[in-house]
Structure 1
């Protein structure tokens, strides 16, 4: 049985992590399969967006598989973390918008997986935590680096050094997620995201993501120059002409 269910509509791919008996915990096999799926999506010319969620109602991802990790040596642990980091970097650098739709528990590696997406939506039964210090370790899938970039270093250290769980509303308050929905609105939310992504210029969305991601590591003047270059490049293709013509003609653009 595949550990990841994949569906596609209008160029938007929904990936459902499918280990519900283990609360979708990340083990070596699931991480490897996610890497293969993401590699295929990198070559998907018609891709417009990716939504990542978990099977069932209890968990997005309840963490890394503790039973698999318990007896690892330091070098084995380094290799395991390196594999996961490579896959999460692949998710982070997909050229299209990526959204984590967090249903239930997003603990440890699950929170880190959500952080590798561009932004997140939480169902009202979601809980987030980086509880690794309670296991005698620290986050190893990017949590010490992506979490402070999302919520600020003080809040990140609060969560990482206490290991406390926060609910969906607190996650919204601190900026860990962008919105909170009812659990039974999950399918409708995916459908609405698909609608929104499919009606926008695909090259424009890719350029917007590139501008935001690449600009973060530059000084403001350099980042603004990058934006200007990508803005101007948009006028080199048919997408801009169709979008503006459709607006003036009061019709939907055919992207």
Structure 2
């Protein structure tokens, strides 16, 4: 791009690095000051194996994160919880990334925590450590500078329902459902799902869904703002249709898409004055950058 000088590029890169460094401070909710022993909880989860979490990064900047534990309806074992955290760490470092599709294999999204894992950490201390670990993980998922979509085929229940709320959008196939069944297990959501649900549908609707453990089919989910669309594809092509759905939102330069997502995270998580100050910082990472200058030089039309 002939209109961009080396000096301008170097200045833009320095600003970007400083902004990224500040952003890193907000990735995790808990550390040792909160009584969270990350190494200990990881050691215990590593002993509880089963299933896998796979990550595939596309050249188009859209990644696919697959939850697979077919014998357990894609419930998350201890090792899968660790793998999920590792995949999110990988995505945090993916500078070319723009979008993410989270899905489950075998026509099921996710049925929460694997009962064998839950029983093995059923005491109060271990349960709290697992709760903080998964809150950290799903909050980092929600804060990724990627536009994320949960592709819900079959059931998203319990912790699986909480997982789908950590994505920006939710697409549901015909016959699928979201259901917060925690009440029937004698517990409440602990992975941040209740707080995110309130943000999505409001406190009154959230209370109905949680206290009633209601089945939420696609039509109902769309009507209350929990889902963003219904896919009519067969199971084997739903992922391809989800790719088509997310593509318009991820067109263009990666740094601009990522900056746009960061604006939303800041506006959602911070008080107004703090949010607009952070908006200023993020704005500085793209103003005068390559994509901005190229658009100016080409007099890009957008109507």
Higher relative contact order (CA 8 A, sep 6+): 2
- Structure with max Cα Rg: 2
Shift of 1:152: 0.4
**C-alpha spacing 1:118/1:6, structure 2 compared with 1 (3 Å):** same
**C-alpha spacing 1:91/1:233, structure 2 compared with 1 (3 Å):** closer
Shift of 1:222: 5.4
| Equivalent in the alignment of 2:18 | none
TM-score w.r.t. the length of structure 1 is 0.88
User: In 1, Cα distance between the equivalents of 2:296 and 2:164?
Assistant: 35
Shift of 1:123: 1.1
Q: How many residues align?
A: 249
Task: Judge which range, 225-234 or 171-180, deviates more.
Answer: 225-234
| Equivalent in the alignment of 1:189 | 241
Shift of 1:225: 5.5
User: In 2, Cα distance between the equivalents of 1:69 and 1:113?
Assistant: 16
User: In 1, Cα distance between the equivalents of 2:127 and 2:274?
Assistant: 38
User: In 1, Cα distance between the equivalents of 2:222 and 2:66?
Assistant: 23
Counterpart selection for 1:3 from 32, 36, 52: 52
State whether structure 2 residue 288 is matched by structure 1 residue 236.
Answer: yes
Counterpart selection for 1:65 from 100, 103, 114: 114
User: In 1, Cα distance between the equivalents of 2:162 and 2:292?
Assistant: 36
**C-alpha spacing 1:187/1:217, structure 2 compared with 1 (3 Å):** closer
User: In 1, Cα distance between the equivalents of 2:264 and 2:250?
Assistant: 20
Counterpart selection for 1:202 from 232, 254, 260: 254
Which structure 1 segments of 5+ residues have no match? 251-255
Which structure 2 segments of 5+ residues have no match? 1-49
Counterpart selection for 1:104 from 154, 157, 160: 154
Shift of 1:61: 0.3
User: In 2, Cα distance between the equivalents of 1:66 and 1:174?
Assistant: 30
| Equivalent residues of 1:38, 1:91 under 8 A apart | yes
**C-alpha spacing 1:240/1:3, structure 2 compared with 1 (3 Å):** same
Q: What do you get for the CA RMSD once the two structures are aligned?
A: 2.3
